[in-house]
Amino acid sequence: MIGHRKDLLGLEDLSAEEITSILDTARTFREVLDRPIPKVPALRGLTAANLFFEASTRTRLSFELAEKRLSADTVNFQTSGSSVSKGETLRDTARNIEAMGIHLVVIRHQASGAPHYLARILNAGVINAGDGTHEHPTQGLLDIFTIREKLGRVDGLRVAILGDIMHSRVARSNIWGLTKLGASVTIAGPCTMMPAEVERFGVTVAKNVDEAIEGSDVVNILRIQLERQRAGLYPSLREYARVHGVTRERLRRAKPNVVVMHPGPMNRGVEIAQDVADGENSVILEQVTNGVAVRMAVLYLLAGQHAPAESATEATPTVETVKR
């Protein structure tokens, strides 16, 4: 359990301790993934439903893999070919799924706040897998996990987050998590893609990409979200690449062992140059592997609340487990 939570909706409302306990647990699961049989029976008997109202490849696969590696049963739901296309409301869809005896619901939805709504009406645990332009907490956690594994700490690091901050739920989750753990975050991107009053997030806004990269330990490059773009935010992809794209040249301003991250899918040659994406500082594929471990940790920690047999909610042990 994360604190006494039944759901993971965002990093904004988690404490530094809660975040750290998820990251520590993820470490164990990272080791499980390297085993000859990368699977443990921890969630046997539990069923997880993956509700994806919005396109996703890696997050959906990552969650499904995490569930299977924990021996949970999984059911998948995608908007196309489902009753949503017949006009069913989110509430009815969710209630029906719960009536089937689901313990954990993973939801991605184009509307910010959809997971929060489900969390209120369902007894099942709800995990936000990305809601509109709000948060993508497991992506934030896996980014922070990757940074911590690479550099050994988060506290005191300088992290640059570059690109379309306004539409990016990845940026929001990263900002909340990183600042809680003591990193200083600098953001940069086209001024048409900066949310209003962005300073309230506790970040520094740089004039341009070069200034943000200067002296940074981590550079996290966001995807240009072509599907979320309203017309007129920038003139052309070519201009975006020239003014805001991260190239090897620009990366020289960072610390020599800078960690280069991207949540994927990459637009190669736009926000990230080919040789940066495949360069020696890139941890983009490690992020993907770590994503499974972090999601296993979240599922495992939330699952305690959702035992199949309606179990007691009595006061619980703190650290050590009672061995039999």
Binding of other proteins at residue 31 (CB under 8 A)? yes
Q: What is the CA radius of gyration of the chain?
A: 20
Q: Is 180 a catalytic residue?
A: no
Element containing residue 218 per DSSP (H, E):
strand 218-221
Answer yes or no: are the C-beta atoms of 266 and 277 closer than 8 Å.
yes
Q: Determine the Cα–Cα distance for residues 90 and 96; give it in Å rounded to an integer.
A: 10
Pick the catalytic residue: 4, 86, 120, 323?
Answer: 86
Please give the backbone phi and psi of residue 250, each rounded to the nearest 5 degrees, phi first: -65, -35
**42 vs 65 by CB, closer to other proteins:** 42
Q: Is 108 a catalytic residue?
A: yes
Query: Residue written as tokens 């443990």?
Result: 40
Sole window of 5-13, 30-38, 153-161, 185-193 interacting with other proteins (rule: CB under 8 A): 30-38
Binding of other proteins at residue 320 (CB under 8 A)? yes
Binding of other proteins at residue 231 (CB under 8 A)? no
| Amino acid sitting at position 14 | L
Binding of other proteins at residue 45 (CB under 8 A)? yes
Q: Determine the Cα–Cα distance for residues 68 and 152; give it in Å rounded to an integer.
A: 29
Pick the catalytic residue: 30, 103, 108, 134?
Answer: 108
> Which residue among 12, 16, 20, 27 contacts other proteins (CB under 8 A)?
27
Q: Determine the Cα–Cα distance for residues 250 and 258; give it in Å rounded to an integer.
A: 12
Count of CA atoms in the C-beta half-sphere (13 A) of 52: 18
> Which residue among 12, 20, 32, 279 contacts other proteins (CB under 8 A)?
32
Binding of other proteins at residue 312 (CB under 8 A)? yes
**44 vs 252 by CB, closer to other proteins:** 44
Q: Is 150 a catalytic residue?
A: no
Instruction: Give residues in contact with other proteins (CB under 8 A).
Output: 1, 25, 27-29, 31-32, 35-37, 39-46, 300-301, 303-305, 307-309, 311-324
